[in-house]
Structure 1
Amino acid sequence: MINVTKTPGLWTVQLDRPDKANALTSAMLETLIDAFTAAKQAQINALILTGSGKVFSAGADLAEAHAGLATSDLWERLSGAVADLPALTIAALNGTVAGGALGMVLACDLRLCVPQANFFYPVMKLGFLPQPSDARRMARLIGPARTKWILMGGQKITADTARDWGLVEAIAAAQDLEAQARGLAEAAMAAQPALVAGIKQLVP
């Protein structure tokens, strides 16, 4: 349910459970953590995170969420592994992003999405707190009031609003999404890994 494609300097990690809107199970989260850990050890220059189908991820698998996944430390471990990767990380969002799935997206360096994408994080409605790092990273990108708009106001925002607010950097047509993500990765792929890591450390 997680596909990893490896080419020189660039890995692509794809969520591949389209029949369930790429809802994340504990096994998928563990596989994603392993993938990002392996990418760090491989000293790659860039990584693209994407999904299959028309939804990037609906968040936690509901059956597992009510069985404890919603409050599992796997979410924090995953977003930490994404943020800790000393490579350029690009989230190429093929569709809507919901709930805890936003964590790994927020931890990426750059975000692209298709025009049909929506963004929402309905944890309060479901009776849970968001992951701490998710709220902090979201606030750094879009500010505290807009973060509360999503987390406390329970609002779903569109791709256009996400771009205007700074939650994503660009919108690309579905057929252009992968090419645009690869284009963004080209400069990093041509550089020395130490330079990519060094620039990433300089930018808070």
Structure 2
Amino acid sequence: MRRARLRIAVITAAIITLLVTGVGAIADVMMTRAQNEQVWRELRYGAALGDLASPPVCTWLYAPGVAPLPNAPRGFPVRADLDRVRRTRTAVERTVRRDDTVYLVRTQARADGKVVQAVFDMRFQLADRTHLWSALAVAEAVGLVAAALTGAVLGRLAVAPLADALARQRRFVTDASHELRTPVTQVHTRAQLLA
């Protein structure tokens, strides 16, 4: 009985774990996709029309003849992309990992012919994803405890009728063997006398 109760508790906990993990994975994929689409949209706009002197928050714009902002990240602009766009006039997008963060970079030629590189710092988006996974880990822990308790209660309730039936069966066998002992003994004694 104890094994059956434990099995029900483990199965319930496994189901809850799979559900929370599945929901978390779906949420992460959707959030990551939405964030990336939004950032690329902002970079395209910034590279095409953004004010070089005051770009949006977390964005830096680089162009020939324009001094980078004092808070600009190290290692930018990506010179190879600027040269390539100057030659081909085709926009280039890339992801750069540097200084414990991720930067999305778009380089393109503007309508006036000036080649501009827009750089976006993904630091806050990455922090949002970390917070999401932390919240899901807490939800998983709480869900696991709740599932284990629920499984134990359900296991006890599910196994109780079976345990009761087995106890009755044992009592019946004990009573029946006691009741049958006397007549069997009498028959055995008579058979010995007749023999």
Q: Which protein is richer in strand relative to its size?
A: 1
Q: TM-score range by the shorter chain?
A: under 0.3
Q: Which protein is richer in helix relative to its size?
A: 2
Q: What TM-score comes out, normalization by structure 2 length?
A: 0.22
Q: Decide which structure has the larger Cα Rg and report it.
A: 2
Q: Larger relative contact order (C-alpha < 8 A, sep ≥ 6)?
A: 2
